[in-house]
Structure 1
């Protein structure tokens, strides 16, 4: 079957007028783009599906979603039996509601009882609902902080964690079997799914406030937050919870507060991207809040901005927030004894755990690994992901993380201290762990493969004036499952980890230096920044070759 025959066969079963029209146009006018739409199948992995909207098997569309739902339904009925169930959530991206309802109808048609969240809601609400309702699985339709033309499909199992190997491979095989043997208009469907009411949101909200405990000293009423959901679905829920917990009325970044699938004020709806926080920082300069809180569009990540002694505002790094929340969690009364983080995150959490006589564990990147630790008290990854309530949400949760940070700021403010003071104290006690990320977004994924192969075949002897002491290839396996990445240990406690992104067309390098603090914390920070600059310059050359 040639390209045009494949396209016409796809066209014949596509239920979406928009992608049908686009495919007809491509058949007539653009063989190159048409070939890319049919260049294999969008990969289903541990992160589920993620890719640009459009026609064909290499794009996110209703045919791909229907096939994926049918494959997942086969997996669920085979592994969980005839009483299995699934909870389905969705954000406000283009077609998210359509994909969610398509999934529900396929599940019902396959004998899997389907529950759909009542409206576009944050991913953590879906992760909460799985365990709260005792469901066999969950599906979240979202592309998180990807560009507006993308959408995605995350899959969780009954433990509330995203899937890990070999489950992803087993589901992918069943999806392929469906796609190769049936047209989507032949799949049994049933529209008798149940749309959940607002009580599921109220249950999540009640638990989120509960983890903070009572505000016996009335400290929270003095803390003002500027909040932005980055055009996503977390704004109103976070605003409500800040009010319910007793904090001062928050200030919205109005231009970014309502859901907007085009993310019209930012190039990328990711708080880490250059320019994404400009409106929030400008709002903060005007109203002078105690904290800036930004969620990504599905609100599973949280970025924090704070006032500086000089009077302006700056964003904390993901590691800085992770260290502060790790300290916050270490002081809480809990039978759970493990602080955990991903391999690429900064190293201070291990020292915080040791000083608190808590256990520490390091995992591969992703909360699919962190959330599975049975004794987890707190976990984080430097890409703005934090789990502060693993008893109910075993995934990163930008809403509860935001509440915890703002509560910590209230506690510190009552003692005339700031979160920067806390971070300085931690640096004096454990050493200044300074981190930075260098990344390259590519148009061609082969660029990433070439860079990784070059580093493996011709490893550097020095980086940033430091000798490379060891290189560990994570693909060959360590005490962690094999993954594509390299760990370079440098003299003087330096470290670089290089890996491809699991969700975006990027290669990333995670830099760390450790500087002991003497008489001046400012001098230590300046030294660390110079050392990071040296490392970043050399890493930038790797990525430009």
Structure 2
């Protein structure tokens, strides 16, 4: 890798800065130690070893997994082992050339401000490489057996599952997308006494080349699930369960009368939220329950919460925010977290850890599908029942490629129009506007948003009088201008009418605010 990419020097410098920051910020940091995990990508094991050497150099107790592990294992290990921090070397679902360095703080959550700024400053102050020649990796502790055992135990206590009859009425396929998930998902299914999935031979082993999927992201559509669909069709399976390569996210495909349908992240969150709530009620638990969603995820669970009587919380985009908010509520208000999610197929079920976890989500989906099959229904049919009960929520979540940061800034500044925001798009009137870049929310008495201000990111939300929520934001990791538009239909409303109104509003909004043709924004290729 070049000087601007992930390489040994960059990893060492980042680790040096992180180690020094942890020493200054966390009490008894050396004795608490650090836990380090890595995925199956090129150089991940090497980068993890360098990270371990740096922390050993500073006198830390170092837990280093002896083999590739899912990202959720590392997040869980921070809390289990009560370490001062954690590091996961992974690029998640990115293309094969990428790698990354994910940091957890002592609370088991991803770092947020101001900790991130403290670490960045510390890295800048510790760029001169330390001599690691004589740092002996034999002093590291392998936490795999302990973490795996306790993860399994807590998963069985936390994740609702289902006692399967001897002859299950549904078969399912599982793929790790050339990533780390297969062994760990199979162990989780065994512990939960679920039938083992049919595997996808072409994708079952960790392979840094990702030979069958150049973009190993199950969110990319049915094209990413082609190998899984082939296995499912050959074996009469009706469900596909897919992890991304570090097994922190989960996507599913369901067989329908019209062929295979891949559920969106929002649709999956609806059925998982329902499953978790139903099991919570069946358990007789008296602890008040809550769920958490990101600001760009479906508001469906908020409607469910209003009807059923549980609290829903909104956070900024990303699990670094979701996890920290959820853990704070659990720790300070002693409520029961049923589920937290983001529309980008990330789910936390229960409060055993606070970063998205595709392993326990896979257990949940398989158990759910098996129970519904016993009752003569499918996941898709249960989703339809939820829409009949709470109303159909139509969504239009997509993006444009925008490779010029200055153009992105100009587009958003034009929306702001020096404070004279647009309040009507075609026939659709806006009720309130939230601009998290500037720290404005016209729905609040003091005009200040409840969510943290994000001055370095572009994000504007329009709340329409017809109930539609529309958020436009710049991606923090990719050259994309994203939009998330959702219209909740009234109970009993025809779906096609809700979708028609949503698409009309979307057209008016996007043509006015983004002006895609004029600005040369590039839509992704249709699948």
Q: How does the TM-score come out when normalised to structure 2?
A: 0.86
Q: Deviation digits for residues 19-76 of structure 1, max 9, x if unmatched? A: xxxxxxxxxxxxxxxxxxxxxxxxxxxxxxxxxxx221x3211111101101111111
Deviation at 1:89, TM superposition (A): 0.4
Distance change (3 Å), C-alpha of 1:465 and 1:279: farther
* Secondary structure at the counterpart of residue 78 of structure 1: helix
Aligned to 1:481, which of 428, 452, 457? 452
Q: How does the TM-score come out when normalised to structure 1?
A: 0.83
> How do 1:284-303 residues align onto structure 2 when only pairs under 5 Å count?
284-303=232-251
- 2:23 paired with 1:62: no
> How do 1:245-284 residues align onto structure 2 when only pairs under 5 Å count?
245-274=192-221, 275-284=223-232
Deviation at 1:462, TM superposition (A): 4.5
Deviation at 1:220, TM superposition (A): 8.1
Name the structure 2 match of 1:119: 67
- 2:173 paired with 1:211: no
* Secondary structure at the counterpart of residue 404 of structure 1: helix
| Greater mean alpha carbon deviation, residues 100-109 or residues 328-337 | 328-337
Distance in structure 1 (CA, Å) of the matches to 2:81 and 2:356? 19
Q: Which protein, 1 or 2, shows the higher relative CO under an 8 Å CA cutoff with sep ≥ 6?
A: 2
Distance in structure 2 (CA, Å) of the matches to 1:500 and 1:128? 30
- 2:50 paired with 1:76: no
Distance in structure 2 (CA, Å) of the matches to 1:197 and 1:364? 32
Q: Deviation digits for residues 326-358 of structure 1, max 9, x if unmatched? A: 112222145351111111111110121222221
> How do 1:88-167 residues align onto structure 2 when only pairs under 5 Å count?
88-167=36-115
Do 1:106 and 1:190's aligned partners in 2 also have CA atoms closer than 8 Å? Answer: no
Do 1:146 and 1:504's aligned partners in 2 also have CA atoms closer than 8 Å? Answer: no
Distance in structure 2 (CA, Å) of the matches to 1:60 and 1:336? 44
Distance in structure 2 (CA, Å) of the matches to 1:226 and 1:336? 36
Do 1:105 and 1:193's aligned partners in 2 also have CA atoms closer than 8 Å? Answer: no
- 2:300 paired with 1:348: yes
> How do 1:266-415 residues align onto structure 2 when only pairs under 5 Å count?
266-274=213-221, 275-308=223-256, 310-331=257-278, 332=280, 333=283, 334=285, 335=287, 337-372=289-324, 373=326, 374=330, 375=335, 376-390=337-351, 392-415=352-375
Distance in structure 1 (CA, Å) of the matches to 2:233 and 2:409? 43
Distance in structure 2 (CA, Å) of the matches to 1:145 and 1:429? 35
Do 1:509 and 1:539's aligned partners in 2 also have CA atoms closer than 8 Å? Answer: no
Name the structure 1 match of 2:384: 424
| Greater mean alpha carbon deviation, residues 140-149 or residues 232-241 | 232-241
| Greater mean alpha carbon deviation, residues 529-538 or residues 436-445 | 529-538
Superposed CA RMSD in Å reads 2.3
Do 1:389 and 1:400's aligned partners in 2 also have CA atoms closer than 8 Å? Answer: no
Identify unmatched segments of 5+ residues in structure 2: 440-448, 520-527
Identify unmatched segments of 5+ residues in structure 1: 1-53
Do 2:164 and 2:194's aligned partners in 1 also have CA atoms closer than 8 Å? Answer: no
Name the structure 2 match of 1:45: none
